[in-house]
Amino acid sequence: MSAVINKAKSQYRRALGIEVGVILAFAFFLFLYKGNITISFIAGTVSSFVPHAIFVYWVFFRNSAKDRTNMTAFYRGEGLKWLATILLIIGCFKLVFPMDFVWFFMGYFIVLLLNNMIPFLLSRFTH
């Protein structure tokens, strides 16, 4: 079981790095295309990426005596992910002016898609 968890750890480490690179590249090209909406897009990506990174850290990289089972760590990580998502979205809506909600949610949903697709593609095409 340890070999499987170690493989998942390295896979998620690579996936998060690739995801950051894709987000930054997309934000850069969006800035060149239409600069004033980039802040809304980045706010959306942060509202989706940071909670996912917290979840991955909590499940795979944190060792705690309190989390004796993997399911306990998973449920706590998922709870933290929801809490971080809610707080970040509320914070972005309150603090980012002017907010373009279409680009905010485009960034949010693009990162949700990347959160699922990159680990899948890494597991499928790497051995």
Task: Give tens-digit pLDDT for 5-43.
Answer: 778 788 888 999 999 999 999 999 999 988 889 999 999
The yes-or-no verdict on residue 3 having pLDDT over 80 is no
- What is the model's pLDDT at position 73? 81
Q: CB-based contacts of 11: which residues, under 8 Å, 6+ apart? A: 119, 122, 123, 126
**Residue 74 CB coordination number (10 Å):** 14
For the chain, give the percent of residues with pLDDT over 70: 92
- What is the model's pLDDT at position 101? 93
Confidence of residue 103 (pLDDT cuts 50, 70, 90): very high
Q: CB-based contacts of 91: which residues, under 8 Å, 6+ apart? A: none
What is the C-alpha separation between 90 and 38, in angstroms, rounded? 18
